[in-house]
Amino acid sequence: AGLRCRYVLCEVVSEDPQCRQCIEDRAVGLAVRDAISRVHGDFGLACCSISFTVKYLNAYTGTVLLRCRKDSYRMLCSALPFVRQLESRNQRYPCFLNTLHVGGTIRTCQKFLIEYNRRQLLLLLQNCTNEEERRCVQKSLLSCSFTEEPCLSGNEDDDGTE
């Protein structure tokens, strides 16, 4: 087998509604690398940089999937709380990364995300104030399903257990 990887699923949390538009691979990658450098120095940054990448990003939901080598994922995770802002076009947007799940494959993270979104939508459903809102949320709930997708990389056989 090739290099074992870990996938860290996070959400970008910000009170600034403008922050959503600056969520891009480059901005997230730079913010995470900066936090790793501040917390773990050059050595930590070097360890985490090997195969580190932003694999998936959804600016609309603020969902980010980071990939790193299995032997450095703890270092990466310990630095994530120190991400305090994203920078885009010389603007700084205060935010933080909330770690939702750590998995051994993209698929386990997808499954987790579907379940997480379903729980969030159920909470929204309880707080609906009118019938139109209820219908929209129920429609979103029904669309939460797992569709089989081809593997995105060759080493997807790791199930996330150590």
Nearest-angstrom CA–CA distance, 136 and 119: 15
pLDDT (tens digit, 9 = 90+) per residue, 117-133? 888 888 877 878 888 87
Residue 116: phi and psi, rounded to 5, are: -60, -50
What are the tens digits of pLDDT across the range 16-32? 877 777 788 999 999 99
Summarised one tens digit per residue, pLDDT across range 74-119 is 999 999 999 999 988 888 889 999 999 999 999 999 999 988 888 8
15 contacts 111 by C-beta, under 8 angstroms: no
- The class (CATH top level) of 5-104 is alpha beta
Q: Which two tokens stand for residue 115?
A: 């379940």
pLDDT band at 150 (very low <50, low <70, confident <90, very high): very low
Q: Take residue 147 and report the two structure tokens written for it.
A: 């569709």
Burial class, 146, CB count within 10 angstroms (exposed 0-12 / middle 13-18 / buried 19+): exposed
How much is the pLDDT for 95?
92
Predicted local distance difference test score (pLDDT) of residue 109: 94
Question: Hey, what amino acid is at 80?
Answer: L
Q: Is the pLDDT of residue 149 over 60?
A: no
**pLDDT tens sequence across 38-64:** 999 999 999 999 889 999 988 888 889
Cβ neighbour number for residue 156 with a 10 Å cutoff: 15
pLDDT of residue 140: 72
pLDDT for residue 145: 53
The model's pTM: 0.77
- Write down the H helix ranges in 50-161: 73-79, 106-126, 131-142
